[in-house]
Amino acid sequence: MYDNIRYKHTHMKTWFLCTLKYQIQNEEGKVEKKTESYLVDAVSFTEAEARIYQELGSILKGDFVITNLSKSNFSEIFYFEDSSKWYKCKVSFIAIDEKSKKEKKINQYMLVTAENIKEAYQRIEDNLGTMLVPIQIVSIAESSLIEVFPYIPENEKIPDNLIPLRKAEAEIEEN
Q: Return the closest-CA partner of residue 111 out of 71, 156, 135, 144.
A: 144
pTM: 0.75
In this predicted structure, what is the pLDDT of residue 96?
A: 82
In this predicted structure, what is the pLDDT of residue 9?
A: 43
In this predicted structure, what is the pLDDT of residue 52?
A: 92
pLDDT interval class at 161 (50, 70, 90):
low
Query: Is the pLDDT reported for residue 157 higher than 70?
Result: no
Query: What's the Cα-to-Cα distance from 6 to each of 49, 66, 78, 137, rounded to whole Å?
Result: 23, 27, 5, 18
More confident residue, 72 or 166: 72
Q: What is the bridge-based pairing of β-strands 74-80 and 103-113?
A: parallel
Encode pLDDT of 91-150 as tens digits.
Answer: 999 888 888 888 889 999 999 999 999 999 999 999 988 877 888 999 999 999 999 998
Encode pLDDT of 48-86 as tens digits.
Answer: 999 998 888 878 777 888 999 999 999 999 999 899 899
75 Rama sector, left if φ>0, alpha if ψ -120 to 50, beta otherwise = alpha
In this predicted structure, what is the pLDDT of residue 129?
A: 81
Provide the residue ranges of all domains of the chain, joining segments of one domain with +: 4-153
Encode pLDDT of 6-65 as tens digits.
Answer: 554 444 568 999 999 988 888 888 888 999 999 999 999 999 999 998 888 878 777 888
Residue 170: alpha-carbon gap to chain centroid: 25
Note the helical H segments in the chain.
45-57, 117-128, 165-174
Asked whether 21 and 33 are in contact (CB, 8 A), the reply is: yes
C-alpha to C-alpha distance for 129 and 132, rounded to whole angstroms: 8
Helix (H, G, I), strand (E, B), or coil: what is residue 61?
Answer: coil
Note the helical H segments in 104-164.
117-128
In this predicted structure, what is the pLDDT of residue 2?
A: 39
The per-residue b/e assignment along 28-46, b for 16 or more CB within 10 angstroms, e otherwise, is eeeeeeeebbbbbbbeeee
Q: What is the bridge-based pairing of β-strands 103-113 and 86-96?
A: antiparallel
C-alpha to C-alpha distance for 34 and 134, rounded to whole angstroms: 41
Asked whether 147 and 38 are in contact (CB, 8 A), the reply is: yes
